[in-house]
Amino acid sequence: MDMSSSERSTSPPVQAISSAGSRRWIVAAVLFLSVLAGFFDRISIAVLFTNTDFQAAMGTGFDPTRLGLLMTAFVIAYGFSNVFLSTLVDLFGPSRMLYLSIVLWGVFMALMGGVGSFTAMIVLRALLGVAEGPQFSIANSLVARWFPPHLRARGNSIWTIGSPLGSAIGFPLTTWLVISYGWRESFFVLAAFNILAILPLALLFVRDNAKGMEAAPVPVVSGPQPSYRESVRLFASDWRFWLIVVSSCGTLIYLWGLNSWLPSYLIHQRHIAPDKAGLYAALPFLSVFLGQIGGSYLSDRLGKRALVAGLGLAMAGVFMYFVSFMPSPQTTALMLSLSGLCWGTVTPVSYALILDVVPRGALATAVGLKNGLSNLAGALAPLVMGVIVSRTGSFDAAFLVLVGSSIIGGLLMLPLMRKY
């Protein structure tokens, strides 16, 4: 029997469904490029920690405590921005927030290329952190809108691999730019990449939903859907959400500690030449990329997100512990890569786990709160590790911070492993 005219008018056409199915992967690819660019901006400062021209311009010399503060200032602002600005993603839509964010990244990176004091650099690093804070909430919200539940870990894996690849490509790229052209020029190039490459792609392809339809239909739930305020109350009173948050603190302590001090560790502790240190620093993050692909596949295939994330994070800490015992730069790189491989399984699975326990009406707010609090914890890692290096003269001692945080964070997933 033919459908009624009202049924025909409310049913999305097959062509629209097919278009949305292919378009979602383009949206995910643009999100990947935006995260890639964001991580270029975030980690570029770590390469400059060993650059004497930069140290002279900032008036710091090689002072691990003050240099570590440049990364900590960014991550603290990034954490607070996650908490307070991610609400805007729910209120105004993720695509608009993405456009605005990319513009601000480019502006602040260009301004950093022109500063002449440590104080000005600290301020601009903090402003960059504010501008980049909502990024993961934006991406996670778009995945929730465009991808059905059985594809969300894989959808998240596409943009989250921008994080390790941003470091893997960013370390040697920034090293090359600094050696070839200078530290100021490296900032100008990265600013141009945001404005001239990433922004046009976002404007062209990223929308909140596919035109004329809901691109990723959610299961029908009987009864009225909870309001934004009620959705916030539901996840804020859910112990599962807070357990994921605390575990994520271990994940982000590892990330920011490694991103901040890996090049310096390789140069000062392992005596690797600066032009080669960027390549060695890239290897663990290439392994993170592989871990994210494997972890997201296992998570969707097995439906055991907490098991994959918890085991991966704990093993990342175990392998990191053995780094200091390695006798050569090559074996050190191998152990760092194994640690990165395990750590990589965590991030896309963690975001998919959030989608399993948080009401969609406040998803960006929940992700922002999770990211914000865990990044605030992670913000302490560069500074604390810098203080340890200053007092002990040993990067191996400082890296124990990453070991402990990872193992504890992994163990915290145990209560969720039975159901998730």
Distance (Å, rounded) from C-alpha 409 to C-alpha 256? Answer: 15
**Residue 164 CB contacts under 8 Å (≥ 6 apart), including other chains:** 285, 286, 287, 288, 289, 292, 340, 344
pLDDT at 168: 82
pLDDT at 409: 94
Q: What is the DSSP string of 109-146?
A: HHHHTT--SHHHHHHHHHHHHHHHTTHHHHHHHHHHHH
* pTM, two decimal places: 0.72
Distance (Å, rounded) from C-alpha 231 to C-alpha 206? Answer: 26
Complete domains list, the chain, with CATH: 19-209+228-416 (1.20.1250.20)
Helix (H, G, I), strand (E, B) or coil at 86: coil
Closest Cα partner for 23 from 107, 147, 150?
Answer: 147
- The number of helix segments (H) and strand segments (E) in the chain equals 20, 0
- CB atoms under 10 Å from CB of 2, counted, come to 6
- CB atoms under 10 Å from CB of 211, counted, come to 10
Q: Is the separation of the CB atoms in 55 and 178 below 8 Å?
A: no
What value, to the nearest 5°, has the Cα angle with vertex 309 and ends 384 and 285? 60
Give 49's DSSP letter: T
pLDDT at 3: 43
Token reading at 259: 């991103």
Q: What is the DSSP string of 172-235?
A: HHHHHHHHHT-HHHHHHHHHHHIIIIIHHHHHHH--SS-TTS-SSPPPP-SSPPPPHHHHHHHH
Give the CA distances from residue 196 to residues 199, 246, 323, in Å, rounded to whole numbers and listed in that order. Answer: 6, 38, 40
- CB atoms under 10 Å from CB of 273, counted, come to 9
* Local mean pLDDT, 10-residue blocks, the chain (420 residues): 41 46 86 92 86 89 85 86 80 90 95 92 94 87 82 78 83 89 94 95 86 44 64 86 93 90 87 82 87 84 87 95 91 93 87 80 78 85 90 90 95 88
Closest Cα partner for 89 from 374, 363, 375?
Answer: 363
pLDDT at 17: 42
Q: Is the separation of the CB atoms in 333 and 200 below 8 Å?
A: no
